[in-house]
Structure 1
């Protein structure tokens, strides 16, 4: 079913399909103890932490929530300037915070609306990756996923750290997206690839607008049947009552102006249940991907990757104008090109260190490129230009 057809639900969707949508909404949207209307039109529901979607997963039916990680890498510390009670300006916030907060004992979830499911084409597709990805795009010239990425492999990995510059890149087509993210990977691009991911994205087909939003993602079978964005399917266990996956990020960087970034920390809780914990903005332990979800990442990762990704649908036979990062090439440098900095991995010796087994992935450097400097890099580009027709 086309996305255009989804706009008229009365004529395109029959009674059966409409009933399926309503049933799916009841299943996805858990009863809220409090609801907050965000300035961008989102509704954030505060859900009892013990009634969150994760526990609908068959592998998590008897799961006991781990409220805090038992393992922090050496050198890790919380940044109290991001505390809501601090007098200093926070480095990271979300628009819905302007109108309220969720109480402790709940987690904030962006409410799914009927139009969200209809844009997906069917309730079953909601939150899934629409186009399967190839983590080795240089092997596939026809792959519509394009990257400018920095990869560390050749060791065993228990986690990573990164500071991610935040922008609002332009996207050309509704079904295209622009993402800045990390990947923690085990397996190959067949049916056994395990990946946990997070970052920021602009995805009109997923959210219905062009806002820059925080996202999470996971898959245990190379994006085929398992996993989804955010909390749109069972899997990720959230513990924070302060951050909503899928909600709009603020503030954003401007060209040759103020720069903003978000810190991401992921580590396997080697002293606990082996869950993969995600900490955002130095002080928010958002939650974790349970090790039970993954046949391969239940032990260690084989690679860590950072960078940008876009969808290029080549409408009209031309490369998309969807931007990556700031929309400017890496060589423009500070305050103009987007960056990742403070890159670290937790290696096979469980030590935090800078990347050293590295290479870059830039299959179309005239469209999007990267310049690396060891523990940081600049990346991005405008897409279509005279050298990228």
Structure 2
């Protein structure tokens, strides 16, 4: 079964209206976070989580992912909620309505032939997979209101038409957020086909008081934002964690109770870029808007792409055969051949992206 993330569904996130925030942070004119009691956060309202006990950090393990360092300015934060609270993005009724309308148009969970959807990346089938980690970058792009552009990592399982799926990364989606900025995001799809982006519905449990699952990344000019994130299934609890590797932060997790096909891992893992064309057929740019060429810095890149395999051993995604995904004449994919660049190891890496255009096909 070919699995694609629900790329263009609702990205709606909300504050808990019945909970008075202990503190609020206004990040920009239109972006405010409320600091909500961690035990009263919206994720815990899911009926499957009535008896759930919050896990404050992953279980200790010999397979624990190691810390990394970074001086990327996009990691500077303006949010630091008091101990015992977590940041929840505040938004308006108009925002929610717009997100729901766009969801009805873009919602297409499984079809590899989704009109206007173009992909450039790699994936692997088999498993069980217990995690994926990658370092990747994204750029300021001119994305129209009815377009979207994503950089993502994901895991999933399918069985007789049923799907479990989780994904995280960066996206530009002006039609939902009302701006052309990059935003981090997380997505899940679980039992009975239920799920959503970020904290649009109950399910995701936020634990970091500094790094929210959904966050704008403000860039200037041709700057890029770089993330090194991981999705990691806890060996003991089986919860699916989102971990920021640089600086090292446990952001939160999707509890195991939400899923019925991934208790012992996923059967598919992948990373790459995805775009959604406008209704006119005009496809947006992907990556940094350039085709991959010689030299790893000339286009957007995923590097150090690692997978946690069946016994939680960490290995490169190409340790077993991988499938390259590229379905458009307007985008490119170039698998890296070097193992080091300057003094930094790249591990398994690839470049991806392209300019888009009116002749990209469907």
TM-score category, normalised to shorter length: 0.7 to 0.9
Question: What's 2:170 paired with?
Answer: 200
C-alpha contact 1:110 1:245 (8 A) present in aligned 2:
no
d(CA) in 1 for partners of 2:62, 2:205:
21
Q: 1:219 to 1:121 in 2, by over 3 A?
A: closer
Q: 1:369 to 1:234 in 2, by over 3 A?
A: same
TM-score (norm 1): 0.79
Question: What's 1:285 paired with?
Answer: 250
Question: What's 1:93 paired with?
Answer: 75
Q: CA deviation at 1:132?
A: 3.0
Q: 1:252 to 1:58 in 2, by over 3 A?
A: farther
Q: CA deviation at 1:131?
A: 2.0
Aligned length: 337
Which structure has the larger Rg over C-alpha atoms? 1
Question: What's 1:18 paired with?
Answer: none
Question: What's 2:357 paired with?
Answer: 384
Question: Higher helix share goes to which structure?
Answer: 1
Question: Higher strand share goes to which structure?
Answer: 2
**DSSP 3-state at the match of 2:306:** strand
Q: Tell me if 1:243 matches 2:243.
A: no
C-alpha contact 1:28 1:232 (8 A) present in aligned 2:
no
Question: What's 2:269 paired with?
Answer: 304
Q: 1:165 to 1:26 in 2, by over 3 A?
A: closer
Q: CA deviation at 1:92?
A: 4.0
**DSSP 3-state at the match of 1:38:** strand
C-alpha contact 1:333 1:378 (8 A) present in aligned 2:
no
* 1:156-195 map, 5 Å: 156-172=128-144, 174-187=145-158, 191-195=161-165
d(CA) in 2 for partners of 1:334, 1:29:
49
Q: 1:260 to 1:200 in 2, by over 3 A?
A: closer
d(CA) in 2 for partners of 1:214, 1:261:
11
C-alpha contact 2:15 2:89 (8 A) present in aligned 1:
no
Listed one character per residue, the Cα deviations across residues 7-29 of structure 1 (whole Å, up to 9, x for unaligned) are xxxxxxxxxxxxxxxxx978567
Listed one character per residue, the Cα deviations across residues 166-214 of structure 1 (whole Å, up to 9, x for unaligned) are 2122213x232111001111115x7411110000011112211111001
Q: CA deviation at 1:287?
A: 0.9
Structure 2 unaligned blocks of 5 or more: 1-12, 338-347
Structure 1 unaligned blocks of 5 or more: 1-23, 83-88
d(CA) in 1 for partners of 2:165, 2:198:
14
d(CA) in 1 for partners of 2:350, 2:139:
16
d(CA) in 2 for partners of 1:252, 1:71:
39
* 1:44-59 map, 5 Å: 44-59=33-48
C-alpha contact 1:165 1:253 (8 A) present in aligned 2:
no
C-alpha contact 2:146 2:277 (8 A) present in aligned 1:
no
TM-score (norm 2): 0.84
